[in-house]
Amino acid sequence: MKLTTKGRYAVTAMLDLALHGDQGPVSLADISARQEISLSYLEQLFSRLRRQKLVISIRGPGGGYRLSRPAAELYIAEVVDAVSESLDTTRCGNKGDCQNGEKCLTHHLWSDLSDQIHQFLSEISLGDLMRKHEIRQVADRQNRRQSDNGSETINTERLSDQAPA
C-alpha cells in the first residue's frame, strides 16, 4: 500500500490548519511556508477539502481557511477520502480481476488490510494528533523557523499549551 503525496500533504496541511486556527483564518501561504508544500498544490487540495465541507474559506484581508468542525471531530480518513486518495492495498484496485480477470489467491487478504487501514484512520482525529507532544514540538520548531525567516511571528508558547480535551 502506498499513500501518495496527495493524501500525505492533505493530512499535513489540515493538521497545520488545526494547530494554527485558534489565531484566526490561516493562509495557504503560511501553511506552504511552514510545511514546504507548493502553494499551487495546496490550492488544489483545499479546493477539494472545501467541496467536501472539511474547511471554510474566509475571503478578504486577513482571510484564509479554518476548519469546518472542531479538530476532535475531523478524522484522518475523511481528509484522505476528500482528496480522492486510495488506501487500497490490492493490485487490482479491489475490482477482483487481479489474476487474468479473476481474483488472485490473496485478494481477500489485501482487501481486508485496506479496510483495516481505513478503519484505523477513521479513529484518529486531528484533535488526537494535536495532543501528541512530538507533534507540538515539530510545530514549535516550524514556527521558530518561520519567525527567523522574517515571516509573521506565531506565539509558540500558546501553541505548545494547546491540548484540546
What's the length of the chain?
A: 165
- Residue 97 corresponds to which amino acid? D
Q: For 11-51, what is each residue's pLDDT tens digit?
A: 999 999 999 999 899 999 999 999 999 999 999 999 999 99
Query: Strand, coil or helix: what is 73?
Result: helix
Q: Is the pLDDT of residue 108 over 70?
A: yes
**Amino acid residing at 114:** S
- Grid cell at residue 102: 479473476
As a whole number, mean pLDDT of residues 53-69 equals: 94
In this prediction, residue 160 carries a pLDDT of: 42
pLDDT tens column, 133-147: 999 999 999 988 888
Architecture label for domain 5-86+125-161: Orthogonal Bundle (1.10)
pTM summary value: 0.83
Angstrom distance (rounded) from CA 103 to CA 48: 33
> What are the start-end ranges of the E strands in 13-140?
55-58, 64-67
Cell numbers at 21, concatenated: 486556527
